Structure 1
Amino acid sequence: MPKPIYVLSGPNLNLLGVREPEIYGRDTLADIETRCVARVKDRGLTLVFRQSNHEGELIDWVQEARESASALILNPAGYGHTSVALLDALKTLSIPIVECHLSNPAARETFRRKTYVSLAATGVVSGFGAASYELAVEAAAGLIGA
């Protein structure tokens, strides 16, 4: 069995479904995880699906992915706009990296329009709400040839 695809979500994404639903939708992160797992099941793939509000923990998981993952999907949330440390960790990976956003950062406030993560990402999926995660999973599976 191939190594799992890591799906990491950053700060405040534990509040999906209740936090600004007009922007982020009403699906919870657990709802999204269930749909993502279903997307890869037929391909014989597995996911490691995690969320943290702590930058250092996300960096630890990115470093873990170097050895343990076949691809990485990252919704960095606010850390995408601020964390050079997260970018530095991502640059150590040799696996595909898919940046994922529920909203379209390019259509939002100026400070959200650029992310450090994009500098290391293989590709970006954004603006499709909860389906952005599912599309990112499909992209990652394709990048690893599954």
Structure 2
Amino acid sequence: MSRAVEIYRRLAKDNIAAHEPDLARSLSNLGGFLSEVRRPADALPPTEQAVEIRRRLAKDNPAAHEPELATSLSVWASVRFGEQHDLSGALQATSEAVEIYRRLISVRPDDLHFLSPLRAVLSLQVRVLLSLGRLQDAQTIRDWLALNPGQPASQN
């Protein structure tokens, strides 16, 4: 995976518009992989860089890049929570990802593509909230997840 990042970095130097989204995807994937193999010090920088790139891309073209920003935020939150124990950072990242997914679902209510990643990031948010001692907030999300397995979160 680090090889893919190197390749996309070179390609993005020559044509940033064409290859920066792929670079961000590769960075996010690399960070997630490094986190899974318990290399937290190595996992955080690529996930942070992926979020930075995707924020910039989403600012210029939200319709095209917000879904990928939410994905990168979810990976970043997972790394921050699981490996770095940065609970406030993980909560901030999950909150932003949830907001994006809810907005996407509200704009495209018939497109259930975003429901699964929304539920995944909400589940991570529950774990973060529990670790922060915010039991009521965590339980509210758990209750919603249990009562609304297929309902878009924008109707919450």
Q: Fold conserved (TM > 0.5)?
A: no
**Between Structure 1 and Structure 2, which shows a larger proportion of strand residues?**
1
Q: Which has the higher contact order (CA 8 A, sep 6+)?
A: 1
Q: TM-score, normalised by structure 1?
A: 0.30
**Between Structure 1 and Structure 2, which shows a larger proportion of helix residues?**
2
Q: TM-score, normalised by structure 2?
A: 0.28
Larger radius of gyration: 2
